[in-house]
Amino acid sequence: MPPQWTGSSPALLLSVDRDSGEHLRVQLERQLRHAIRTGRLGAGERLPSSRGLARELGLSRGLVQDCYAQLQAEGYLVTRVGSATRVAAGAHVPPAPAPRGRTAPRLIADFRHGVPDLGSFPLADWLWATREAARAMPTSDLDYGDPRGSSALREVVAGYLRRVRAAAADPERIVVCSGYAQGLGLTLRGLALAGVRVVAYEDPGGPATASAAAGAAGLTAVPVPVDEDGVDVRALDATGARAVIVTPAHQWPTGVVLAPERRIALIEWAMRRDAYVIEDDYDAEFRYDREPVGALQGLAADRVVSIGTVSKSLAPALRLGWILCPPALATSLAEAKLLSDRGSPTLDQLALARLIESGRHDRHLRRMRALYAARRTALVDALAAHAPEVRLTGLAAGFHAVLHLAPATDERSVVLAARERAVGLYGMSACRSDGSATPPRLVLGFGDVGERAIAEGIATVGDLLTGRAGQVLSDRP
Per-residue pLDDT of 27-85, as tens digits, reads 999 999 999 998 888 888 889 988 999 999 999 999 999 999 999 989 999 987 777 89
Q: What mean pLDDT is predicted for residues 78-96?
A: 78
Q: What mean pLDDT is predicted for residues 448-475?
A: 83
Q: Which amino acid is at 398?
A: G
pLDDT at 110 over 80: yes
pLDDT above 70: percentage of residues in the chain = 93
pTM of the model as a whole: 0.85
Q: What mean pLDDT is predicted for residues 329-356?
A: 96
pLDDT at 477 over 90: no
Q: Which domains does the chain have, with CATH numbers?
A: 24-87 (1.10.10.10), 109-116+364-474 (3.90.1150.10), 122-362 (3.40.640.10)
Out of 8-22, 143-157, 242-256, least confident range: 8-22
* Cα 293 from Cα 250, distance rounded (Å): 9
pLDDT at 137 over 90: yes
User: What phi, psi does 220 have (nearest 5°)?
Assistant: -100, 130
| Helix locations, 61-147, DSSP H | 61-73, 123-136
Q: What is the pLDDT of residue 95?
A: 65
pLDDT at 105 over 90: no
* Cα 317 from Cα 321, distance rounded (Å): 11
> What does the chain come to in residues?
477
pLDDT at 393 over 50: yes
Per-residue pLDDT of 164-190, as tens digits, reads 999 999 999 999 999 999 999 999 999
pLDDT at 215 over 60: yes
Q: What is the pLDDT of residue 94?
A: 67
Q: What is the pLDDT of residue 104?
A: 64
Q: What is the pLDDT of residue 16?
A: 87
pLDDT at 395 over 90: no
Out of 19-28, 55-64, 85-94, 195-204, least confident range: 85-94
Q: What is the pLDDT of residue 471?
A: 45
Which is more confident, 466 or 83? 466
Q: What is the pLDDT of residue 425?
A: 97
Which is more confident, 454 or 469? 454
Closest CA to 245 of 207, 284, 200, 214: 200
Q: How confident is the model at residue 217 (pLDDT cuts 50, 70, 90)?
A: very high
Which is more confident, 470 or 417? 417
Closest CA to 216 of 248, 249, 190, 244: 190
DSSP 9: P
pLDDT at 123 over 50: yes
Closest CA to 431 of 207, 210, 199: 207
Q: Indicate the average pLDDT of the chain.
A: 91
221 sits in the region (left: phi over 0; alpha: psi -120 to 50; else beta) called beta
Rounded to 10°, the helix 451-466/411-420 angle is: 130
Q: What is the pLDDT of residue 476?
A: 41
Q: What is the pLDDT of residue 84?
A: 83
Tally the C-alpha atoms within 13 A of residue 110's C-alpha that lie toward its C-beta. Answer: 11
pLDDT at 12 over 90: no
pLDDT at 468 over 80: no
* Cα 37 from Cα 236, distance rounded (Å): 63
Going from the C-alpha of 338 to that of each of 156, 170, 175, 325, 342, the distances in angstroms are 21, 20, 10, 15, 4
